[in-house]
Copies of this chain bind each other. A is one copy, B any other.
Amino acid sequence: MFVHARRNKEQIEMNEVLNAISTRRSIRLFKPEQLRQEDVDAIVEAGLYAPSANNAQNWHFTVIQNSAMIEKVNKWVLTEIEMSGNANLQEMIKRGSGSIFRNAPTVIIVSTERKDRFGVINAAAATENMLIAAESLGIGSCWIGMAAILSGSKNVESYARELHLPDGYAPQIGITLGYKEGVTPLAPERKPNLVSYIP
């Protein structure tokens, strides 16, 4: 693997940014205690500073710390998956714990303007900023892609209202956040041959 062969481990370990990026993992076991407000603020702020096409910033973040509301959103997603007939998703749910958000004390739903063709791409950039910011604060996180199923639902306007979204917005990505419980596993091996050079 040429990248690993050339990689300067010391350089990366000395650079906190590169270090956070390469040690960030999807975390699915959280301590029950709630995040400090200043940590939530720093994570949200990182999301808001993501780039967006034409600097539109046409996203909305719903920060949910109410466990009944987290469970409600979970139920929405499980019901949509059940109705979708998508066997892969149904299988993933069956293998899971009954909650796509596990026991995370904080969930952020990232929503975008439905008419914007770059909306989901912008949301992904904001989400990745928030995951890296969380890692830098010692907070575990996981990208919950299944939340996207809400955006295609016939109930999307009702979901949008309950998530306090502006008109014309739809939920696209979920983020779970919490202090990490247990030992974080190593990053899975990167696959080979993913990069070409035209020097």
Contact = CB atoms under 8 A, between A and B. Distances in A.
B45 A136 contact: no
A184 interface: no
Given A18-B136, A198-B164, A143 B60 contact: no
A51 B26 contact: yes
Centre residue among A37, A45, A133 by max chain B CB count within 10 A: A45
Interface residue range, chain A:
35 or more
Contacts of A187: 49
A61 interface: yes
A15 interface: yes
Contacts of A33: none
A16 B24 CA distance: 15
A97 interface: no
B118 A145 contact: yes
A63 B2 CA distance: 14
Nearest to A37: B6
Nearest to A39: B11
A158 interface: no
Contacts of A50: 21, 128
A74 to B, nearest CB: 14
Contact of A129 (B21, B38, B55): B21
Counting from the closest, the 9 A-B pairs by CB-CB distance are: A17-B136, A124-B124, A164-B196, A16-B16, A128-B128, A125-B128, A64-B198, A121-B124, A22-B49
